[in-house]
């Protein structure tokens, strides 16, 4: 029996044009699709610096917050502490950051970038900013600010 021999009710439907209107009405779907597009371009750009997305985020927070603790990084980036430990160790072995005893909490360590880490982040953040301009060129400056504000409103509560 071939597909042509099947009764019409058993024949496989044929979709010529995909109807994604329902998915496109969902905030999460649209946020994910936009993120996938941006991350798809971000990953190769950061690879030139030897950075993954999470590495970039960690180093950027340390760059702008010298003395930040691992706990603060976990809270800000929604990371589990065991996942951060290996990342910090790897970045330290690359000579990009240093750990120091925290001045107020003996159990914590404050993190700061080395001169090499600072130089790397200046260049990596320039590349990230350029990518942001490119991927959001369909938006006006006001629309871009509004989009960022609205997305933050969703995840910051």
Q: Is the dihedral of CA 44, 47, 48, 54 positive or negative?
A: positive
Domain membership of residue 45 (yes or no) is no
pLDDT in tens, 125-150: 999 999 999 999 999 999 999 999 99
pLDDT computed for residue 69 by the predictor: 94
pLDDT computed for residue 122 by the predictor: 98
Residues in the chain: 157
Domain membership of residue 27 (yes or no) is no
pLDDT computed for residue 1 by the predictor: 64
Domain membership of residue 62 (yes or no) is yes
Domain membership of residue 131 (yes or no) is yes
14 three-class SS: coil
Spell out, as residue ranges, where the chain has pLDDT lower than 50. Answer: none
The boundaries of the domain holding residue 84 are 50-157
CATH code where residue 66 lies: 1.10.10.10
Domain membership of residue 144 (yes or no) is yes
Domain membership of residue 43 (yes or no) is no
Domain membership of residue 103 (yes or no) is yes
Distance from C-alpha of 7 to C-alpha of 88, rounded to nearest angstrom: 62
User: Which residues are 12's β-sheet partners?
Assistant: none
Mutual orientation of helices 27-47 and 115-135 as an angle, nearest 10°?
130
Q: Count the domains in the chain.
A: 1
Domain membership of residue 93 (yes or no) is yes
């Amino acid at each position: 029996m071939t597909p042509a021999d099947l009764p019409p009710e058993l024949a496989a439907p044929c979709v010529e044009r995909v109807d994604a209107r329902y998915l496109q009405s969902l905030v999460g779907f649209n946020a994910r699709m936009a993120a996938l597009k941006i991350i798809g371009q971000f990953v190769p750009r950061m690879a030139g610096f030897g950075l993954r997305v999470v590495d970039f985020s960690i180093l950027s927070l340390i760059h702008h917050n010298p003395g930040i603790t691992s706990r603060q990084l976990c809270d800000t980036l929604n990371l589990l502490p065991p996942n951060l430990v290996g990342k910090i160790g790897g970045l330290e072995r690359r000579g990009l950051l240093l750990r120091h005893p925290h001045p107020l909490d003996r159990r914590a360590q404050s993190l700061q970038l080395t001169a090499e880490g600072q130089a790397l982040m200046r260049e990596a953040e320039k590349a990230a900013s350029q990518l942001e301009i490119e991927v959001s060129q369909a938006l006006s400056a006001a629309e871009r600010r509004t989009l960022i504000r609205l997305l933050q409103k969703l995840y910051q509560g």
